[in-house]
Amino acid sequence: MLIKSLVYKKDYLTTVNEKATLAEALQILEDSGYRCVPILDDSGKLFRGNIYKMHIYRHKSQGGDMNLPVTYLLKNATKTIKVNSPFFQVFFNIKDLPYIAVLDEQDYFYGILTHSKLLGMLSDAWNIKNSSFVLTVLSDNERGNLVKMAKIISKYTNIASCLTLDVKLGELVRRNLFTLPVGVSNDTMKAIVDKLEKKGFVVAEIEDLQSGTILRSDEKPGQYLNK
Domains of the chain: 2-120 (3.10.580.10), 127-216 (3.30.70.260)
SS3 state of residue 86: coil
pLDDT of residue 138: 92
Conformational region of residue 166, where left means phi above 0, alpha means psi within -120 to 50, and beta covers everything else: left
The reported pLDDT for the residue numbered 222 is: 42
Nearest to 90 by CA among 123, 121, 54: 121
DSSP code at position 217: -
Give the model's confidence band at 34: pLDDT under 50 very low, under 70 low, under 90 confident, else very high.
very high
Query: In the beta sheet, which residues pair with residue 114?
Result: 99
Q: What is the pLDDT of residue 20?
A: 98
Mean pLDDT of the region 145-172: 85
CB 193 within 8 A of CB 203: yes
Q: What was the pLDDT predicted at 221?
A: 44
Task: Please report, for residues 56, 68, 123, the alpha-carbon distance to residue 60 in angstroms, rounded to integers and kept in the order given.
Answer: 6, 11, 40
pLDDT value at residue 168? 53
**Structure confidence at residue 1 as a pLDDT band (50, 70, 90):** low
Residue 90 pLDDT grade (very low, low, confident, very high; cuts 50, 70, 90)? confident
Which residue from 113, 93, 96 is spatially nearest to 10, judged by alpha carbons?
A: 113
Q: pLDDT by residue (tens digit) across 36-55?
A: 999 999 999 999 999 999 99
pTM of the model: 0.71
Top pLDDT among 17 and 84 is at 17
pLDDT score of 169 more than 50? no
3-state secondary structure of 201: coil
Look at 5 and 185; give whichever has higher pLDDT: 185
How many other β-carbons are positioned within 10 Å of the β-carbon of residue 85? 18
Q: What is the pLDDT of residue 5?
A: 85
**What average pLDDT does the chain have?**
89
Residue 69 pairs in a beta bridge with 21
The more confident residue out of 143 and 87 is 143
Confidence of residue 212 (pLDDT cuts 50, 70, 90): confident
* Percent of all residues in the chain with a pLDDT value above 90, rounded to a whole number: 67
